[in-house]
Amino acid sequence: MTLFKSIPRKVNTFAYCRISDENDTSDTLENQESIIREIAEKHNNKIVKVFKDKKSGKDFNRQFWKDMIKEIPKYNIKIIYVKRYDRVARNKTVYKELEKINKLGADIISVTEPYNEKVRDISWLVSSWEREDIRDRILIGIRETFKTGKYIIKAPLGYKKITVIENGKVIDRRLEPIQEEINFIKKIFKHYAKTKKLYKTHKRFLKQGKEILQKKIQREGTNYKPTFSLNYLKKLLSNPIYIGYLCFKKKGIPEKYLKLPYLKPIVSKNLFYKINPTMKEEIKNKLFYFKPNTK
């Protein structure tokens, strides 16, 4: 329910603006602020501070949102203005945040939608459904891509990406092993499993690692130029691609592990899980397995 029977006048307020990221062209932070200021002036309310986030609405892990909530009592805030209710969030946990804000004596008001409980509920529900629908459509696209065994991201160390084109159309993308790099990776896994010392393993393979990475950079001819650092080695040792799984991460999409049916493991699962003991259960719980097309 709404905290107030009507929009309060002559009170202290905050303005909250949000876009998903720098590439979000649906609106701008400046435009949101401008509209909010115009309406706040008509309400004869003072905007004490403006908070701007460039974060997804999937949760409330947003620094400026957190800062804003903490400062509500300090400035005796009664209203948090937003351009639209979906700027607050695109998920059903929004009601917990609203309850928290109401207990502090404030409420969220959209400057482009009626201050009405039903309108607000519908807006948040529709936003949540839209986000779930977008996520599902992306996952369907991923599923269809991996059904064919196609690989759609940068090739990690140990592989090169092969693109097959027929009649001007890409009909397949997949990973092809580079034997020199695979032999190098096997040595790294065995050495680290034996010593359990990242620094010693890095020192042992630093010179060879630099040479191999340089060859990979020259072969691929891209602007991406990794260095054989401790962090690079750490990521290499925890990359499930070497046991045939791709860890798929995308903004707004839950992390998934995808089994690449055509890809033979470089190291044994026993060795990999010995080095990464928590990943066995993680992969099991987040696994999507797609059989390749046999047509």
Helices (H) and strands (E) in the chain, counts: 9, 9
Fold assignment, 12-137: Rossmann fold (3.40.50)
Contact 34, 97 (CB under 8 A): no
pLDDT value of residue 292 = 40
Which residue(s) pair with 176 in the sheet?
160
Domain at 148-289, CATH class: alpha beta
Joined together, the tokens standing for residue 199 give: 């620094």
In a structure prediction context, what are the per-residue pLDDT tens digits for the chain, which is 295 residues long? 677 888 999 999 999 999 877 656 667 899 999 999 999 999 999 999 999 998 877 778 889 999 999 999 999 999 999 998 888 876 667 788 888 999 999 999 889 888 877 767 666 555 544 555 555 555 556 555 555 555 556 789 999 887 777 777 766 667 889 999 999 999 999 999 999 999 999 999 999 999 999 999 888 876 777 899 999 999 999 999 999 888 776 555 556 777 777 778 999 999 999 999 999 888 888 876 544 433 3
Residue spans per domain, the chain = 12-137, 148-289
Determine the 3-state secondary structure of 217 from DSSP. Answer: helix
pLDDT value of residue 152 = 54
Find all residues with CB under 8 Å of 23, minimum gap 6, and list them: none
The burial of 163, by beta-carbon neighbours within 10 Å (0-12 exposed, 13-18 middle, 19 or more buried), is given as: exposed
CA separation (Å) from 94 to 5, 101, 104, 159? 21, 11, 16, 44
Q: Among 11, 31, 75, 28, which residue's Cα sits nearest to residue 49?
A: 75
